[in-house]
Amino acid sequence: MKKQVVRLALLHMMPKIGNSSYNRQQLRRALAVAAGHEAQIALTPEMIEYGQLFDCYREREKVPVYPSRYLCDLGEVAYKYNMYFIVGILEREEPTGNLYNAVACINSQGHLEGTYRKMYTTQKEENLSILSGNELATFTWTENQLGLMVGEDVYLAKLPILLREMGAQLILGVVSPGVEGMAKEWCLRSAETRLPFIVCGGNLQGSKKNISYGESLVIRLGQVQYAFKSLEPTVFILDIELNTNNIELVVTTSLAMK
């Protein structure tokens, strides 16, 4: 059987809360590094554009309608690098104005394929009138189905089982503020489904509301195969053999971002 290997970039970024222009610049830098290592898919943490949830209701009103100019610009970058992007966003639906914690999928042709909306909303999200989604999502890579989950979705035990029934062979999760405190649940979901999980993000919030470090997990058969922690912006490059689910770390590259 011919190997089907995909190169995945985990983008450990140190976003500044509410500073979307800085965070967009950092994302572009990380994507350029991923492209330099010939990554085919890039995965960001949850809500990377804003760094975290807002501290007040007023700030949520600044979120633009989907698809924003920012996402359209990322489409041009995806086409330039011939890379598939999975980007954590806050999605404002038109015409309702409803807000969702979501991930946007941008293919290597630069086209927005759609979004997956987080299904398990936290109390803070509900306080900001961020709604929960109600549709599962997978995307196809070289005839292989990859499933998507966001943050506290991990507490919905049936969700990855349904993704497996939809044909998912690998689950990609995006997380904020971190996998710390949820690693046990991610491992449990992997054990229940017998699927490998790759969880990206883990941006833990410090006492002064700065993002202190990033953390990601690679989980197989319910056990952590790799645990990545970074004290600075870092890109981790993984090779994934889809027909055997073998996952290997290729390279780690730090981003010199101030």
Quick: pLDDT tens for 170-196.
999 998 754 456 888 999 999 999 999
Half-sphere exposure of 22 (CA within 13 A, CB side): 12
pLDDT of 209 over the 50 cut? no
Residue whose C-alpha is closest to residue 234's, from 187, 202, 198, 186: 202
Mean pLDDT of the chain: 86
Q: Which positions ≥6 away from 156 have C-beta within 8 Å?
A: 119, 120
Residue 11 gets the label, from left (phi > 0), alpha (psi -120 to 50) or beta, of: beta
**Higher-scoring residue by pLDDT: 207, 107:** 107
Q: What is the pTM of this model?
A: 0.90
Q: How many CB atoms lie within 10 A of CB 136?
A: 18
Average pLDDT over residues 59-76: 89
Share of the chain above pLDDT 70, in %: 88
In sequence order, the 6+-apart residues with CB closer than 8 A to the CB of 169 are: 144, 145, 146, 195, 242, 245
CATH number given to 5-254: 3.60.110.10
Interval 239-255 mean pLDDT: 80
More confident residue, 146 or 247: 146
